[in-house]
Structure 1
Amino acid sequence: MGKKDKEKKKKGLGAEKTAEKTEKKLKLKSKKDLAAKGEDDIEKIVKQIEAEEKKRKEVKELTVQPPSHRSNFSMTAHPDNPEIVFFGGEYYNGSKTQMFSDLLIYNTKRSSWTQIQSPAGPPPRSAHQAAIVSQGGGQLYIFGGEYTSPTESQFYHHKDLWCYHFSSKRWEKIEAAGGPSGRSGHRMVVFKHFLVVFGGFHDNLRDSKYFNDVYSFDLNNRIWKKLETIGAGPTPRSACQMFLTLDGRKLINPNIISRPEGGRRICRPEGEGMTHTDMFLLSVDKHDETFSKWRWQVVKQVGNRPSMRTGLASALAKDRVFMFGGVQDKEDESEDEESDEEDSGNFFNELYTVQVEGERATWHLVTLTGKKEPTEKKSRRKDKEGVGEEEEVEKMESMVLDGEEEENKQGPTTLTVESGAFTISSTIGTMETGEKSKEGVPVNKDVFTPSPRFSSGLVYKSGILYLFGGIWEDGEKDLTLKDFYSLDSVKLDTWNTIIESDIQSMEWFGSDSKDDEDDDEDEDGMDTD
């Protein structure tokens, strides 16, 4: 070895030792800070919770009230039963964060809630992923996610894989090497007899790391495998939307978001989030029977695409994917970079659909038609209004022709209305509406739509969309919701309320910038002697 090589090796060893010393100092400082807050090390907390779960011996099936306020939970439709399965999530009340590990089942036929308390279950988590398969009498798989300490001073990213067996009502922790590293905000879908995991992020409060790796878990042989991919694929990111194509042979990553999926959307300078609107197709090599070689391809997007946003909720239906809500952060370059104040973003309550054929994806903004109202018979309506059938037909044909000419001249046009913290956009010319009204039956345009939100749950079951929970920000308040709605995906008339919103009566224990400003103004305006 030459003299220069020896010097380089010494410098390398010196850098490693310095990094180790720095890490030890940071851990020691962290322990002191935690002791002052009355908190244990987060890894120790998670192990204690898991140990307590193992002490439970019997399975309990309880009839319970609906879920409490929460976001970043999993909400999965059972493929064989009229059930929607909820697991985990988080709730922040302005002072402390509460994590959940409850397993709740909503029966869509009876509109009832059941909680399964089973021994040795997974520790609490949020921003994890869940998938249900029919094999073995029905199995729910849970992978990854994060655990946040009550004071939000520590984060722990899980890398464990769990299976809940519906037949025995028992949890099983699957021990299999070679899986993804600890992460949250990733995505997981079922492809044939595999679980496929993509992306995610890891945050230890000092730095954030995003992933774009792809793993598969063989459900038959219980083996993890990191997949080999070729082609120009997505950059590292988290909180994307991922689903199977209609033929069930390929995976789609649309409207991918690179943003930590926690409720407060915490973002430090070194881990600043970026929003993407690209879309990719991931397909297995046709000549590879081992399903280990995959190819990325860029998908061309057309139609009425959503604006940049994060925190959408998505649900795969028979012939399309529905997406609801989301939030777009406001960027104000004029503000002081060191300012701790947070502006509310643009929140959305739009419903979109996307259909993928080949390497082309078509977006539609859904326009609800409203409930149909019973009316007088057609003949009576004609006499009453004094409008003949021929005249009505001519008017309708004229309107259609005028609309087509205008669209050909200008193309789709977008109307944006701003109101407070919300920006609502709609595009004319690329709308998707529900089941057409029969002739002579007018439509009530006063439809109900759930309030804007992000990090909610959306699922498709037996032709019905179900939407639950999420977060809406009001100034510095991060209000977590627990309302529940349904929508007929064929009629697309109006959202029906299953559980009403209680946002007006919610308690908030953190600071409220608006109230604080009002108090300051009152104090400044007081007369002093």
Structure 2
Amino acid sequence: MAKKKGKDSASKKALKAEKALKAQTKSAVKAKKKASKLGDDDLDDVDIDHILEEYAREQANFVAVKITPTSRPSKRLNATLIPSPAHHSRRELFLFGGEAVNAAGLSEFYNDLFVYTVDTNIWRKVTSPNTPLPRSGHAMCVHPMTGVILLFGGEFSSPKQNTFYHYGDTWLLDATTREWTKLDVKKGPSARSGHRMTYWKNYILLHGGFRDLSQSTTYQGDLWAFDVTTYKWQQIEFPANALKPEPRSGHSFLPTEEGAVVWGGYSKVKNSQKKIVGKVHSDSWTLKLTSDLKTVRWERRRKSGWAPSSRVGCSMMFHKGRGILFGGVYDTEETDETLDSVFYNEVYAYQIASNKWFPLKLRPPRKKPVQQEKITVKSKTNELEENLSRLRGVTESEDARDTKSDEDSNSEASDEEASDEEAVTKVELPVSLSLPHPRFNSATAVLGDWFYIYGGVWEHGDREFTLDSMYTIDLSKLDGVRVIWEDFTEDLAKADQREESDEDMDEDMDDDEDEDEDEDGEYEDMNEEEEEEHKEDAPDEVLVDETDELADVAVGLDIAADPRPYLPHPRPFESLRVFYSRTGNVFMEWAISNNKDGSKRTKELKRDAFELCEGRWWERWEEVRAQEDQLEELGGIGEIVEREAKTAKSRR
């Protein structure tokens, strides 16, 4: 029996080995067939490590970021321009997306990313396969505390703009590596364009926008919050009967300590005749937020004096407690066939805390005064000693002066070398004392104290021109407009052709106009009489309001109510440095009083005091500028010499 069992076990092993050999042979045949199809006759030479390296190389090419110097971007509209949050690097701006009409009259959309280094005036193009699809009308926001750059939405259309597509995707951009990351969002805002985003604490807020469905356009009024710590969207809902702004797009959305502020915008509504008409919003709302996003509310702000006229195509950019607005357009519908538009190139500042508007006007740069050396008793004594030494033939003072002059020449040479190094990196831009050409839908951004304007749209007759230009304005000095580039040759040529065709049409109509000349004169006289009657019948309230406005201008610093009258106030023609040297002790006391737990050191307290002083200086900047304008109009204001504040030891 034992021998039989041994034979059975041996036969079983042989059978298993035979099956394994058949299976191995069969798999080898399949592998060879597959290899023959792929054009590879021998799989034994293929290394698994080599295969893995190929996969890694393909993945690297998929996410690889290539940065190459390039010329300025092609002209476009509805792009986004944002400052780089990477403070350790050079001062940079990011330009993404946009659209333009090509020579064939078809729309082209872009998804290229440009990086602009403002100090060297150099553009770089960033290319990566892992980038958002081409779009325009999207929104991008920088979260200053974390450096997160968020992109949401936008639109795309067919070349002839017969069909539209709106995006509802969410992307993150790394400011250092320039890498894009698409987020897998299960719950988020609906697809849209023309929306606006801002930040509050650890959130990026999104409001408004529209969606064009060809047959109808839907405007949004919902509010969403993106948590920069969890990368998740959360909708902020309000009760059905809660007071809130009307749906809109293209508005301004500015951050505040308690939430955000909404101003302006555009939407389409039904009028009394149930016709769809455009509505230009000029109202302002405050969003009050708490840590619990379920307990939020909207509050309508009162209309402020000195506000700009109704306009669209101009979204404010945030700058140290205020919004900066440029340009815009307002359409006046004359008939059903024609549309007359008014374009603007004004710059306004909106003080968020005081809810006040101020026009910003350019000023020619002031000449720096030649500081004369102060003549003191000590300087006179030194001069007498030098004269006596010179008479006695003592050359020590001359040797000392020679040594000093050598040191000065060496320092001047080193300064020249430093200036040469700076000349390699920094570029001086031409300065214009006039504001840029009127336009709307410009891409604007604030980097430091500089306001940047890119592109925009201007219309002449029934022709629309995308302006190829870029500018920057120093908001602290307003000493002109730095022209980064400006190329209107093509646009002006087209406009001239349009004017010539209009002139030809006008010549054909001269005879008809001559026949109606007398009648027009009668109507003009009647219009003047009607205007006089209208002035006599005008209500007194308007005149009182205008008188009050002028009275406020005369007061100067009382133009806007001071939200913090307990803090020191800057004086006319006083720079931030002089203001801090004069009132630094007061702000230091405030910093110490706010340090209740005593955890901050002296260096941190000084930093807090300066930040408080800087915020105060910008808070009252418009009022001080208004008083400076009044003093200059009165005359007698020459060169302004800044002097340090006198210490307690100084005597009269």
Q: Quick check: TM above 0.5?
A: yes
- Supply the distance in 2 between the matched residues of 1:457 and 1:466 (Cα, whole angstroms): 8
- Supply the distance in 1 between the matched residues of 2:138 and 2:502 (Cα, whole angstroms): 38
Deviations 1:5-59 (A, max 9, x none): xxxxxxxxxxxxxxxxxxxxxxxxxxxxxxxxxxxxxxxxxxxxxxxx9985532
- Supply the distance in 1 between the matched residues of 2:494 and 2:348 (Cα, whole angstroms): 35
Partner of 2:311: 309
Partner of 1:35: none
Larger RCO, structure (CA 8 Å, separation 6 or more): 1
- Supply the distance in 2 between the matched residues of 1:54 and 1:227 (Cα, whole angstroms): 39
1:364–1:154 distance in 2 versus 1, CA, 3 Å: same
Determine if the alignment matches structure 1 residue 241 to structure 2 residue 252: yes
Determine if the alignment matches structure 1 residue 225 to structure 2 residue 210: no
Q: Which amino acid aligns with 1:145?
A: G
Cα displacement (A) at 1:224: 1.6
Matching residue within 212, 231, 236 for 1:203:
212
Q: Which amino acid aligns with 1:367?
A: K
Deviations 1:435-468 (A, max 9, x none): xxxxxxxxxxx92210101000121112111111
Matching residue within 273, 291, 294 for 1:292:
294
Partner of 2:489: 504
Q: State how 1:48-447 maps to structure 2 within 5 Å.
A: 56=62, 58-81=64-87, 82-93=91-102, 95-133=105-143, 138-229=147-238, 231-245=242-256, 248-258=257-267, 271-285=276-290, 289-332=291-334, 335=335, 337=336, 339=337, 341-343=338-340, 345-357=341-353, 360-373=354-367, 447=433
Q: Which amino acid aligns with 1:473?
A: E
- Supply the distance in 1 between the matched residues of 2:60 and 2:437 (Cα, whole angstroms): 40
User: Which secondary structure does the structure 2 equivalent of 1:226 belong to?
Assistant: strand
User: Which secondary structure does the structure 2 equivalent of 1:255 belong to?
Assistant: strand
Q: State how 1:483-494 maps to structure 2 within 5 Å.
A: 483-494=469-480
* Larger CA deviation: 180-189 vs 55-64: 55-64
Residue segments in structure 1 that go unaligned for 5+ positions in a row:
1-52, 261-268, 379-445
- Supply the distance in 2 between the matched residues of 1:520 and 1:56 (Cα, whole angstroms): 58
Q: Which amino acid aligns with 1:276?
A: H
Cα displacement (A) at 1:250: 1.5
Partner of 2:627: none
Cα displacement (A) at 1:306: 0.6
Cα displacement (A) at 1:148: 2.0
Deviations 1:162-213 (A, max 9, x none): 1122344321111112211111111111222212110111111100111111
- Supply the distance in 2 between the matched residues of 1:505 and 1:62 (Cα, whole angstroms): 28
- Supply the distance in 2 between the matched residues of 1:516 and 1:55 (Cα, whole angstroms): 54
Percent sequence identity is 30
User: Which secondary structure does the structure 1 equivalent of 2:355 belong to?
Assistant: strand
Partner of 1:411: none
Partner of 1:395: none
Q: Which amino acid aligns with 2:66?
A: K
Deviations 1:402-422 (A, max 9, x none): xxxxxxxxxxxxxxxxxxxxx
Cα displacement (A) at 1:240: 0.5
Cα displacement (A) at 1:249: 2.7
- Supply the distance in 2 between the matched residues of 1:135 and 1:365 (Cα, whole angstroms): 30
Partner of 1:391: none
Matching residue within 431, 447, 451 for 2:437:
451
RMSD: 3.1
For this pair of structures, how many residues does the alignment match?
384
Deviations 1:501-522 (A, max 9, x none): x223249999986555556678
* Larger CA deviation: 360-369 vs 163-172: 163-172
- 8 Å CA contact 2:265–2:281 kept in 1: the answer is yes
- 8 Å CA contact 1:229–1:296 kept in 2: the answer is no
- 8 Å CA contact 1:90–1:100 kept in 2: the answer is yes
- 8 Å CA contact 2:86–2:176 kept in 1: the answer is no
Cα displacement (A) at 1:351: 0.4
Structure label with greater radius of gyration: 2
* Larger CA deviation: 205-214 vs 161-170: 161-170
- Supply the distance in 1 between the matched residues of 2:98 and 2:459 (Cα, whole angstroms): 18
1:134–1:316 distance in 2 versus 1, CA, 3 Å: closer
User: Which secondary structure does the structure 1 equivalent of 2:489 belong to?
Assistant: helix
Higher helix share goes to which structure? 2
1:376–1:144 distance in 2 versus 1, CA, 3 Å: same
Q: Which amino acid aligns with 1:244?
A: P
- Supply the distance in 1 between the matched residues of 2:268 and 2:479 (Cα, whole angstroms): 33
1:66–1:216 distance in 2 versus 1, CA, 3 Å: same
User: Which secondary structure does the structure 2 equivalent of 1:347 belong to?
Assistant: strand
Higher strand share goes to which structure? 1
- Supply the distance in 2 between the matched residues of 1:184 and 1:173 (Cα, whole angstroms): 18
Cα displacement (A) at 1:79: 2.5
- Supply the distance in 1 between the matched residues of 2:355 and 2:213 (Cα, whole angstroms): 37
* Larger CA deviation: 479-488 vs 369-378: 369-378
Residue segments in structure 2 that go unaligned for 5+ positions in a row:
1-58, 373-431, 511-652
- Supply the distance in 1 between the matched residues of 2:262 and 2:275 (Cα, whole angstroms): 25
Cα displacement (A) at 1:292: 3.5
User: Which secondary structure does the structure 1 equivalent of 2:332 belong to?
Assistant: coil
